[in-house]
Amino acid sequence: MERNKPEAATRGIELLRNPSLNRSLCFSESERDKLGLHGLLPEAIESEAISVERIRLQIDGKGGDFDRYLTLSELRDADEELFFRVLRSDTARYLPLVYTPVVGEACLKWSQIFRRPRGLYFSLKRKGRIRELLRNWPERDVRFVVVTSGERILGLGDLGANGMGIPIGKLALYSAAAGIPPRFTLPITLDCGTNNDALLNDPLYIGLRRRRPASGELDEFVEEFVTAIEQEFPGCCIQWEDWARADAFRLLARYRDRVCSFNDDIQGSGAVVLAGLLNAVRITGSTLAAQRFLFLGAGAAAVGIADILTQALKLDGLSEEEARGKIWLSNRNGLVESTRGDLSDYQRRFAQVHSPTRNFVDVIESIRPTVIIGVSTAAKAFDQRVVEAMARHNSRPIIFALSNPTSRSECTAEEAYRWSEGRAVFASGSPFAPVDFGGRRFVPGQCNNLYIFPALGLAIYNTRCQRVSDEMFIEAARALAQLVTEADLQAGLIYPPQSKILETERAVAERISKIIYARGLNS
């Protein structure tokens, strides 16, 4: 990752107060002379390794992961380069502290822990002024924006302006996992109010105190935002993050062919699940085309995964009709079937011909899926009856409990292995510790978009890609799946270890870049 260098005009205490320039005790003797730092720092001149070790000791001394999140946030506000060095010193350990699962708790408490702003907040009160306000950002070369409306944060619902933790966390992973310099990234919240009464009545809430607008007013605001980004940061990639379901699909469709943009909840989720499934069927000795997929949840993530699956199955030789026939969705109102009158357009294309069924176990008994995928945010929805039903119909049931944070997971790894008598091929959205069962140790896979979006960002950064296609996500999934070794599979691990995330991102980015060049998407 490129290092920021102190500008001649930035000296002394102002330099030490600038997190993108501050290097604290790592400034050399000559730098301290030149930059007016003597007296402002203790005499010790230390290596970067010693600075990292000091922070690691501070983190170890904290009582829980949320306190560790706060410590890392404070570090970033003081010394950004050291923050990223710490993250990269042990990615498997520290990345979960700055993103899932800990970021969920941070978003719930965002107004209480708010100390120093990061990124940009544009509220509806500033409509008509977004381009002007973009100029308040100090960097003029922004390559990546992650933007949220805060309406559907992880599995936690409408958190309004408190959802800013998500764009900040996502972009931290662009830099920590893919090496993209942080100065090229910008987290943004479009604050359109909130329908969360608890927040509206909270005296500490930092966001706009009004209810959310109708879609027409929202779309006008988003259009102004996209136009302003195009004008101020030409070629910038926009990542849509944690928008309400209908908004997510509508905005992706509207802008995907106009600007470089993608929706990680839809396309990124689809790619990382596809990668896991490609390796799950390696374990079971089957093929993707031989599976029957049943989703619990029918929102943006479910349909995004289903869309990517459909395309992958078509590439395996199935027709569109055959591919969709293998994919079933279910939500709180039951199976997504053709007689239901409450379906959105994006759900309707996956409606199957079947009698109305509300009980998930009954759906399993009827259609006998080989794979169940939980994206419902309904904690413990994959109970013992569900897992046992899957195990009854499959020698190696594939069970993906993907809802985040951990408190919303459909089941734990231990439950999946125990209730299936150790036969489940399991993955989750949040990390679970290895499980010892029946004389074996199982290492649960974490189906985390972290494996996809930083690699996509790195490919876009290196190629100056102008548009993002679904083919790029399918290629990313295939590349990711092929990085898992036979030894990993033997342990039940269907994703590469996060300790190897830097190598993983580079390898996946290389494969995506080849698609970009082959399709002329960089010009």
The CA angle 215-216-220, to the nearest 5 degrees, is: 115
CA atoms within 13 A on the CB side of 426: 33
In degrees rounded to 5, what are phi and psi of residue 324? -65, -30
Give the burial class of 143: count Cβ atoms within 10 A of its Cβ; 0-12 exposed, 13-18 middle, 19 or more buried. Answer: buried
3-state secondary structure of 331: strand
- Identify the DSSP state of 273: H
Cβ neighbours of residue 214 closer than 8 Å, sequence gap 6 or more: none
Paired with 189 in beta bridges are: 121, 148
Cis before 405 (ω within 30)? yes
159-174: b (≥16 Cβ within 10 Å) or e: bbbbbbbbbbbbbbbb
Angstrom CA distances, 153 to 109, 265, 452, stand at: 13, 10, 19
- Identify the DSSP state of 147: E
Catalytic residues: 99, 170
Spatial contact of 94 and 55, defined as CB atoms under 8 Å apart: no
Q: What span, in angstroms and rounded, lies between the C-alpha atoms of 371 and 56?
A: 40
Cβ neighbours of residue 253 closer than 8 Å, sequence gap 6 or more: none
Q: What span, in angstroms and rounded, lies between the C-alpha atoms of 243 and 265?
A: 9
Note the maximum CA span of the chain: 79
Give the dihedral sign, CA 206/188/269/182: negative
Amino acid at 168: I
Q: What span, in angstroms and rounded, lies between the C-alpha atoms of 195 and 512?
A: 39
Q: What span, in angstroms and rounded, lies between the C-alpha atoms of 210 and 196?
A: 10
Q: Give CA 384 to chain center in angstroms.
A: 29
Q: What span, in angstroms and rounded, lies between the C-alpha atoms of 496 and 451?
A: 9
Give the dihedral sign, CA 464/172/85/45: positive
Only one residue has tokens 């943009």, namely 261
Amino acid at 5: K
